Structure 1
Amino acid sequence: VYFGPGTLPIKVRDLETGEIRSGTLKDCEDFARLIDALEYIHFFKGMITPSDVNKKIPEIYMVNAAYNNTTKQISSTALSLHAAMDLYRMGVAVAGGEKAFRERPMIIINMLAVSPLQWGKVNLDAIMALANVGCPIIVGSEPQGGTTGPAPLAGQVLINVAETLAGITLAQLVKPNAPVMWGNVGSLSDMRSGLFASGAVELGLINAAMNQIAKYYRIPTYSTGGMSDAKISDAQAGVEKSLQALTVALAGGNYIHDAAGLMESCLLCSYEQYVIDNEMLGMVARVLEGIRVTPETLSFEQIKEIGPRGNFMGLRHTLDNIRPEHYLPGLFDRSTYDTWKAKGGKDIREVAREKARKILATHQVESLPSEVKEELGAIVKNAEETYGK
């Protein structure tokens, strides 16, 4: 299972002031560098829509910023056929050529249906073009129960299957065995307001069902799980995010996006929330590992040696098995109240902000070769001068 961040929020909680503001390209660069250092966030996806760039080609700027600030795999949407092909060319440049890209794709491009039961021409054209060159495609659907999809969850799943299979079938007709992932971003509309209920517990159930169906077709999945409607990093955010992420992961999701950083129905992202969610995803990953049952872990000889009223703390066996068996949080506090108070009594948001600041101040990302940077820059410039006008 691989976890990644969210789609395209437009607002960010400023790391220094805590105020909400529009996202910038600098945020995109900083977010990419931040997740490069976070162990349980495995790929880059959108993260912020910069307000200070050409509005016609934001994905080109975002992906260029990502390639220059993280070595992790990239996922992106594309607003046009031209952009989709330029994103592919950027991936080829970073990989070192088309052959190298096919062996290790540096980008996966996301194409979604328009629920209910429609595919837009731009996305259909992009699916065909990307399939033809062998670029991996996420083909998915995003019905919202009660508005663009049926209210019952079973109906949600059915319409998602129909829309997704239509796109996947098209890709396979263009090029048999074209690399695709089964995407799902389906959730609910809160019928009291009509708003997207990104933190709905049912989102986890819908994605779990889609994972099971995709596995029947033997297609890898690109799921959604880890979102929240909360406006700050509070208990609501923790409950909604962890329930979704754990549900989808236990159902066998392969790529789980929107798993970190997102708040306020995907409109807002937060530096500290990425750090908190990384800790939560580490716990989810530990749950997925389960309980290893071997002669070593059953510990029969150690139990026999220690006997009644003994203590296992001094055994070498204990030392050898702590890290393989126990998840040790680096952010969450397990000390007593008095110890916590003596250390400053900081809540989790403050601790996460400090960690985010430290990462951004110290973390260095391996630089791309100069010729690759030049090629990426040329692609950006061409986009600005052609379809970006």
Structure 2
Amino acid sequence: MQLPTVPTHQPRLKVFDRRQALAVHSAALEILEKFGVQMAHAGARDLLLANGARLYDEYWVRIPAHMAEAALRSAPRQILLYNQMGERAMALRDDHFYFGTGSDTTFTLDLESGQRRPCVLADTGRFARLVDALPNLSFAMSMSNPRDVPNMDFIYVQAFAEMVRNTNKPMVFIADRLEDMALIHQIACAVAGGEEALRRKPFLLNYSEAISPLRFPENVVDKLIFCARKEVPICLPSGSNAGGGAPITLAGAMALGIAENLAGLVIHQLTQPGAPFLFGPNVSALDMKSAVVSYGCPEWSLTQAALADMRDELYGLPIWSFAGATDAKTVDAQAGAEAMFSITTAMLSRCNLIHDVGYLEYGSTSSLEMVTLADELIGMARHFTAGIPVNPATLALDALERVKDAGAKGIFLTDDHTFDHFESALFLPDLLDRSRYDTWQAAGGPDLYRRSNDKVRRILAEHNPAPEKEAALLQQINQLLEAAR
């Protein structure tokens, strides 16, 4: 009898059904039509008014539903990101998911002392080089807000250049203002081989933010319009965190955040129809005791799973999300628990671009060890969410027959089937310890933090991005930085 090959069922988390998704979407459209947004940017305000929006109360603009619906139809259903060699690296769409680090931490845990200290520019390079080496991280962000740069007005430009020097993977970058954006774009064009080459094969995506509730500062809109015109992929989440910038109820916070995203999308698509836009607000929760926006709470994982449902039911656009972060101050049991919870739920809900891997202290502190640990946790969750393949090879009846025929000496450990399949069938950890007690004790009894620290040290000592950047390119980048200073 020929055993059939059955398509693998991959576990999936759903939070919203279609009726709930439509209710939240309708509420978001009502927010735009009834309350509107505060639009400080005169050019964007005129653009909105020329296309059907209505002005009231000086800078406030009401946006009718048909403009939001048209922008949703105009935006692409897929965003392709390439590595810096021009090779396709990330296809942001449907159920494809990719993990990477975060940005803008004020502090980091020192690799040598383990102590919390202010970030410096070299930390940006170390994180980028680590990401370049880790198999489960697809893109890099700066992971620091360095305090030692020569010109603080161009801190983001210098951080971007440091990432370019230390990784060839795609990058998500921050810019404070239009001047930052223009300089970063010049560096990116130099890396890609020209503006047209970068437009065809972008290796970068901009992260910017509106201000909840419903405020769009001029510098934010400047960057949005620049990215639309240059077709640089962008995401524009707002801080619609429950109890802070948004209502305490998650449905209300999501409706507000989606309304803000839709307003940004309308401006973006009116500027350049079809330009790539990554959808999704940040909807976490303001902790009622500490007044911090939590990175370890279940609410953020819940809202981004619901956002994935809205993508599938209504929008079709790839979405922005987070995982692998924690409110813990050190790499401890709380850090591991919160990171694994958000990693697994982000993967189960099939979010697309998943950032903030390696954050400690609600995004204030970064940790090389935490990034390395999270990389392994992502691998573990990836193994789980892949499901169980069912086919003649995995049902292994031939192997069972051989072991049975071998009699008392029969054992699956020595059968060829085990050697042929163990690497694909099993999750094989590197950091998570499964050794026998005496083996662990003989190695000095290292805990998970120590093992993670050792792995980071090895990678930073041995790994260099391949291929290396050409000297002429690095010199060109240095000349652009000198001009910025």
The one of 221, 228, 233 aligned to 2:331 = 233
- Matched residue type, 1:377: N
- Matched residue type, 1:25: L
Q: What secondary structure, in the 3-state scheme, does the structure 2 residue paired with 1:253 have?
A: coil
Are 2:358 and 1:257 aligned?
Answer: no
The one of 243, 246, 251 aligned to 2:344 = 246
Q: Deviations over 1:354-383 (max 9, x none)?
A: 111111111122321223222222322232
- Give the deviation of 1:300 after TM superposition: 2.6
**Cα 1:46–1:183 shift into 2, 3 Å:** farther
- Matched residue type, 2:470: P
The one of 438, 445, 458 aligned to 1:338 = 438
Distance 1:55 1:189 in 2: 30
Query: Which residue of the partner structure matches residue 373 of structure 1?
Result: 474
- Give the deviation of 1:338 after TM superposition: 2.3
Are 2:172 and 1:75 aligned?
Answer: yes
Any stretches of 5+ residues in structure 2 without a counterpart? 1-96
- Give the deviation of 1:245 after TM superposition: 1.3
- Give the deviation of 1:42 after TM superposition: 1.3
Query: Which residue of the partner structure matches residue 8 of structure 1?
Result: 104
Q: What secondary structure, in the 3-state scheme, does the structure 2 residue paired with 1:141 have?
A: coil
Residues 236 and 261 in structure 2, CA contact (< 8 A), matched pair in contact too: yes
Higher Cα Rg, which structure = 2
Query: Which residue of the partner structure matches residue 24 of structure 2?
Result: none
Q: What secondary structure, in the 3-state scheme, does the structure 1 residue paired with 2:267 have?
A: helix
Query: Which residue of the partner structure matches residue 51 of structure 2?
Result: none
Any stretches of 5+ residues in structure 1 without a counterpart? 385-389
- Matched residue type, 2:355: H
The one of 439, 450, 453 aligned to 1:350 = 450
Q: Number of aligned pairs?
A: 383
- Give the deviation of 1:73 after TM superposition: 0.7
Are 2:287 and 1:190 aligned?
Answer: yes
Residues 128 and 142 in structure 2, CA contact (< 8 A), matched pair in contact too: no
Residues 240 and 254 in structure 2, CA contact (< 8 A), matched pair in contact too: no
Bigger Cα displacement from structure 2, 95-104 vs 153-162: 95-104
Distance 2:244 2:180 in 1: 30
- Give the deviation of 1:167 after TM superposition: 0.8
Q: CA RMSD in A?
A: 1.6
Q: What secondary structure, in the 3-state scheme, does the structure 1 residue paired with 2:244 have?
A: coil
Residues 4 and 258 in structure 1, CA contact (< 8 A), matched pair in contact too: yes
Are 2:269 and 1:172 aligned?
Answer: yes
Distance 1:214 1:89 in 2: 33
Please give the TM-score of this superposition, normalised by the length of structure 2: 0.76
Distance 1:81 1:165 in 2: 22
Query: Which residue of the partner structure matches residue 125 of structure 1?
Result: 222
The one of 413, 416, 420 aligned to 1:316 = 416
Q: Deviations over 1:260-279 (max 9, x none)?
A: x2100111111211111111
1:272-287 correspondence to structure 2 within 5 Å: 272-287=369-384
Query: Which residue of the partner structure matches residue 52 of structure 1?
Result: 148
Distance 1:120 1:298 in 2: 59
Query: Which residue of the partner structure matches residue 329 of structure 1?
Result: 429
- Give the deviation of 1:302 after TM superposition: 2.3
Please give the TM-score of this superposition, normalised by the length of structure 1: 0.94
Distance 1:142 1:225 in 2: 16
Distance 2:202 2:384 in 1: 29
Q: What secondary structure, in the 3-state scheme, does the structure 1 residue paired with 2:483 have?
A: helix
Among the aligned pairs, what percent are the same residue? 34
- Matched residue type, 2:359: L
Are 2:112 and 1:112 aligned?
Answer: no
**Cα 1:24–1:145 shift into 2, 3 Å:** same
